[in-house]
Amino acid sequence: MTEKNIIELRGVEKRYGSFVAAGGINLDLKEGEFFSLLGPSGCGKTTVLRMIAGFQEPTEGTVLIDGQDMEGVPANNRPTNMVFQSYAIFPHLNVGNNVAYGLRGRAPKAEIDQRVAEALDMVELGGLQNRGANELSGGQRQRVALARALIMRPKVLLLDEPLSALDKKLREQMQFEMRNLQQSLGITFVMVTHDQYEAMTMSDRIGVMFNGRLKQVDTPATLYARPCDQEVASFIGEMNILPAELLGENGDTLSIKAAAFGHMEIDRNPNVPARAREMSIGIRPEQLEIKAKKPEDYPATVQGTVSNVAFYGENIHYHILVEGAPQPVSVSVPNYFHTVDFNRGDAVWLGLQGASVIDLGKDTE
């Protein structure tokens, strides 16, 4: 992946009267990266995508694509193409004519036919030019939409919830196929999704949005391990959030007293914008060890009672009532044929390493 910026957003804002759909957006997207805008419904991520595409003009700010200011440039003259959530496949056209639609009148028939064949090969639909649109499965319709966008040879492919209409198994399959396609083509993909696992599986970087604001932009691994606050921490994976008291700081180490777990030393989180005596910490459920007897090899331990058990196939989730914790503590255990097996009402011990605790900074609740 190169370091050249293909998209630059500078102070981009979209307002509808007094309502700010997206505001203060500053973002650089690299040439050849897979970038996802992630957030709950209504957070403004699709608005940002549509401003890049040219379907909406910013109220304020500048959109640059490949170094060129896009002000006043219509969508069909931008070096982008978009795959919509609905796919928008024309039911009266066959596969080949659907894919060729954007090229009609722009190139000779022989060239169009060649590019249609190339685009269908890219999405593993080679030879299906004559198949009717109504004969396609959901996954094939999604591939046709991709081919129709790619045939225009855009510098940036924009994807608006492209997999939301697919069932879980096909959706997971298409995640890997689209990621492999993006890497083989080497062009920039920008995807909007509300599915955290989809974004983390496919993306080089993710921008997390809430209430029209871009809160954190980072790699999936950094977002998971070092979220900037409670809101991001709760949205990216499952998280136990506990209040804590900051006792002291020594370089990159914080000394804290956490609810239920007591005193521990944890790593400073460089992404936290503010820190105060009253703070919060995050603990991923898979970072907790659950035992029938008090574990001896953990610096922080606490006893509790199992209040709920959920079987997820590959994992078993336990909710543990712990004195001092404001809500049940969630623990996730790999299902190694029930080598760990507790029931509701069982007394258990939890063990925790300080290095597994995430500093979430100032308590904003």
* Confidence grade of residue 88 (pLDDT, cut at 50, 70, 90): confident
> Tokens 């299902």 correspond to what residue?
335
138 and 175, same structural domain?
yes
SS3 for 164? coil
Bridge partners of residue 64, in order along the sequence: 8, 69
- Among 365, 360, 331, CA closest to 258: 360
Mean pLDDT of 356-360: 95
State residue 6's pLDDT score: 97
238 and 220, same structural domain?
no
Token digits of residue 358: 């995430």
Candidate from 58-62, 236-240, 242-246, 294-298 with smallest mean pLDDT: 294-298
Q: How many domains does the chain have?
A: 2
Range list of β-strands (E), the chain:
5-16, 19-30, 34-38, 60-65, 68-69, 80-83, 156-160, 188-193, 205-210, 213-218, 240-250, 253-258, 262-267, 278-283, 289-291, 300-311, 315-322, 329-334, 347-352, 357-362
State residue 179's pLDDT score: 93
The Cα 135–Cα 198 span in angstroms is: 27
217 and 243, same structural domain?
no
State residue 167's pLDDT score: 83
pLDDT higher at 337 or 247: 247
- Of 225, 252, 271, the position where a domain reaches its end is 225
- Among 164, 172, 143, CA closest to 41: 164
State residue 1's pLDDT score: 46
SS3 for 16? strand
Q: Is the pLDDT of residue 212 over 60?
A: yes
301 and 193, same structural domain?
no
Report residue 221 CA to chain centroid gap: 11
State residue 103's pLDDT score: 85
17 and 71, same structural domain?
yes
55 and 199, same structural domain?
yes
- Of 225, 255, 273, the position where a domain reaches its end is 225
198 and 184, same structural domain?
yes
- Of 199, 225, 251, the position where a domain reaches its end is 225
Q: Is 74 exposed, middle or buried (0-12, 13-18, 19+ CB in 10 A)?
A: exposed
CB proximity list for 169: less than 8 A, separation 6 or greater: none
- Which CATH number is 331's domain given? 2.40.50.100
Structural contact between residues 245 and 278, judged by C-beta atoms closer than 8 angstroms: yes
- Percent of the chain at pLDDT exceeding 90: 73
Q: Is 71 exposed, middle or buried (0-12, 13-18, 19+ CB in 10 A)?
A: exposed
Q: Is the pLDDT of residue 80 over 50?
A: yes
For residue 95, count other CB atoms closer than 10 A to its CB: 26
185 and 129, same structural domain?
yes
- Which CATH number is 36's domain given? 3.40.50.300
144 and 218, same structural domain?
yes
Query: Average pLDDT of the chain?
Result: 92
Structural contact between residues 75 and 55, judged by C-beta atoms closer than 8 angstroms: yes
Quick: pLDDT tens for 162-185: 888 788 888 888 889 889 989 999
SS3 for 150? helix
Q: Is the pLDDT of residue 248 over 60?
A: yes
Can you spell out the DSSP letters for 91-111?
Answer: TTSBHHHHHHGGGTTTS-HHH
State residue 285's pLDDT score: 95
Mean pLDDT of 243-263: 95
State residue 162's pLDDT score: 86
135 and 13, same structural domain?
yes
The Cα 172–Cα 163 span in angstroms is: 9
278 and 219, same structural domain?
no
Range(s) of the domain holding residue 25: 5-225
Residue type (1 letter), 51:
M
Residue type (1 letter), 119:
A
State residue 335's pLDDT score: 84
- Percent of the chain at pLDDT exceeding 70: 98
The Cα 354–Cα 332 span in angstroms is: 18
The Cα 21–Cα 24 span in angstroms is: 11
218 and 141, same structural domain?
yes
